[in-house]
Each structure stands twice: as structure tokens, then as C-alpha cells.
Amino acid sequence: MSSRSNGASQTTSLRDPGEAKQQATAIPADSGYIQLGDPDKPSSAATIPFRSLIPPPEHQRSPIAAPAWLVNRLERKNLEQPFRGFTSDGRVREDVYRYGEDEGAPVREMTEAAEELLRVLSEEERTNVWAGDVESDEFRVWSNPELYVNPVVQTAAHALLRASLSKEGYDKALGCTLTNGFLGDLVDGPRVLNKHSYNIRLFHSPQSSNPPKPSLTEPWGFTFFGHHLALNILVCSARMVISPTFLGAEPDVIDTGPHAGLCLFSDEELGGLEFMRSLPGECREKAWISRSLGPDGLGEGRWNPFDERHVGGARQDNRVVPYEGCPASLLPATNQTALLSLIRTFYTYLPPGPLSSFLARASSHLNKTYFAWIGGISDDDAYYFRIQSPVVFCEFDFHCGIFLTNTSPAKCHVHTVTRLPNGGDYGKALLTQWRKEQAAARGSVRL
């Protein structure tokens, strides 16, 4: 078994932006994995300490030219039309989402935080930050030029994030921004890689007034996007959706400075490995799609040098991803319970009420849930795994270096993705239900 180590005391506590005080910290001799089973065993390519991968000052990066298909995919004009949703077979199941009247979403706190953000913006910024209504295609575009550049706006933007996420979720999102800044310091690129190089855009209700404003009763939302962090958030009264999400880190641990000890994604990383190892032999073999992390053994379109093994990233809103791996229906009860716990680790950014509703939905589709694994399961191995059902889609992947120099996947560069299949992304299913509720309230349809 391996353990995460960074040469400093471990902690998961995070300070708010601007609150951390600088402190002198010795740079650890190494930062990576400790092989508990055999401490003298040399590091593998996957477990090499990240400080061994920091490029020297004279290092010349060899950029990989983006292929035409990737450029085309990311262009705004090529956004998938019309939106159907992520599916396993191209057919959208419209019966899998039914949101309660009150699921405990923190709509009042979110609305107050959004109003404060609008208050501190200039008139021009207020005009620019509203990117359209929540039903517009702009809500599906994950990036935009940076908005906030001064501490007052940074604080207000983080207050909106904090109001919208669980405490654990905000800590992880903040950790992604702090780790991004740490990477910038490591590779001498703080102008591009820093804890504030993120974009925020607001989306108003289709029935909003002019000028638009956040609402306690009508749907509105926002996107927060940057390197290794993308959140798409919609709230409608006391119900909310956060999907798709993308969170990652390179490296996934901070070993010096005021945030030394911050280590991201350990629950997903070790939880997935322990779950795979715990499966009965036949079930494990069904889950094991490929021993190789490279394109060999994977189907066409299942690997590329930019997404690597990920299939649920940006501009994949209508992608068809067939179920793979082992169905949960074949698992013993103890493994089924463990699978639900593993699913929970990917969605803990949801506040308590919405998380409870999501987990109930995930549990109701447990027998239609699949677990798939690529890579090895020893302490020395990098790996990928995915959990997929009609209402769950989450991926974990170790990647090659982008700013660090590893040319094969290493356990210091992590990507995670979550989606809500069958039209749940961007709150589309919730918006459809809201439209029907509005019509019913006018007496024109029966729900």
C-alpha cells in the first residue's frame, strides 16, 4: 500500500484568499509517495516525487500542436446543437429526474452573495458579467476572458462560491486555485498560473427583469472556470444542480509555504484503488477494461494526448459513452455500499440537502450502475476509473505532465470530471420541470 506524502505535516484546512500569512518553510527533499510495504523500493514512473519533475530554468517546452478536431471542438460556433445530453446509447431517458419542491438548496445565501458581487462591480462589469439566461447556449461555454482583477471583486466572487457549495466543496475548489498558484511559482509562470486566474459569469432567469438580477424563486446560475477548475451551477428556488464539473491539480499537493500539507483528491484516488482491489475476482476482471493506460487495447476515440482517457470533458455534452466494466448488480452488498460511498466522494461539492437528494437518486439506479477500470492496481501504477449510471457519471484519471516534465501518467497530476447523464447537465432537466410547473400554475397543463 502507498501513502501520500509531502514532507510536511498533513492538513486539509484552508484559509480564505488573502488571509494566509507567509512563513518560511524548508523545501522537502522529496514530495510524492512513500511505499509503506517496502520503504526502500525505488519510485516508479507513476510515483516519482513531483519535485523531480520541475523543469529547470533552461527547459524548453515542446508544445504539441492541437489537432484540427480539437480546435474545431472548442470553437464556440461548433457547440453541439441541439443539446440532448450525455447518454450511454444516444437515447435520452426523460424519466430519471424528478426534483422535490424543496431540496434545501442555499438559494437565499447564493442570491445575497450574487447581489453583493454585482454591487462591487462597475457599471461596465455588471453589464459584461451577465452572459445570458440559463437556457442559452452560453451557459454551456466553459471559458471566457477573465473578469475580476481587484481584491474586492475576488472576495465577492469567492463569497458566491462559498455560499453555493458545501464547506468541503468550497475547500476543494479553493484548494484547486491555491494549487494552481503553487504551480505558477514552481514553473515561474505566475502571470498565467495563479490563484486568481479564473472567470466568473452570471446567467439570469428566462423571465428576468431588465437589468437582470438573481432570484429567490426563478432559475439563475453562474459558471466559474479556469485552469483545473470548472463549475456550472444553477439554482431554482430551493433546488440546485452543479454539473458538469472539472477539478484537477498538477501537482496535487503543496509542500511549502502557508498552505503546506494541502493534498487534493486523496479520497477519490485511494477510495477508487481500494474499491477495485476489494472486488471479487470475477467482478474485478469485468471491471478491468485494459491494463494499459495508452491507446493500445482501448477503442477508437477513447484516448488522445489532450484528454487522455477522459470522455466527459468540455464540449462533450452530447457524447455517447456506452456502459463498460462491471455492473453493480453483480456485486456483493458490501461492495454495493462501498460503491455508493465512492460516488459520494465525487459529488460532495453539493450542499447537504441537494447532496442527499442526489444520493437517493443514485441509489435508486444502483443496479444500472457500472464501474470501469484502466491501468494497474499495484502501488506503482497510475490508473483511470469511471462510474456511470443513468444519473451518475464521474471519472478519475492520472495524467502526463503539462507543466511538469513527466511523459507518462504520474500520481501527482490528477483530473476529475462529473456529469449528470440524460439531460441533467446545466440543470436542463430541472429547467424542463420548472417550465412544466409554471404552466401548471397557470392551469394550462397537468404535471
HEC-encoded secondary structure of 35-96: ECCCCCCCCCCCCCCHHHHCCCCCCCCCCCCCCHHHHHHHCHHHCCCCCCCCECCCCCCCCC
Q: Quick count: other Cβ atoms within 10 Å of Cβ 127?
A: 10
Residue bearing the bigger pLDDT, 2 or 431: 431
pLDDT at 250 over 90: yes
Distance CA 308, CA 220 (A): 33
Distance CA 262, CA 180 (A): 12
- 263 three-state secondary structure: strand
Distance CA 312, CA 428 (A): 17
Residue 4: predicted pLDDT: 63
Give phi and psi for 226, each to the nearest 5.
180, -165
The gap from C-alpha 167 to its chain's centroid, in whole angstroms, comes to: 16
Banded pLDDT at 18 (limits 50, 70, 90): very low
Residue entry with cell 494566509: 20
253 within 8 A of 172, measured Cβ to Cβ = no
50 within 8 A of 31, measured Cβ to Cβ = yes
pLDDT tens-place string over residues 191-226: 888 899 898 999 999 998 888 999 999 999 999 998
Average pLDDT over the chain, rounded to whole?
87
Q: Which of 127-131, 161-165, 345-349 has the lowest mean pLDDT?
A: 127-131
Distance CA 382, CA 411 (A): 6
Q: Quick count: other Cβ atoms within 10 Å of Cβ 69?
A: 10
Instruction: Read off the C-alpha cell for 230.
Output: 470548472
Banded pLDDT at 24 (limits 50, 70, 90): very low
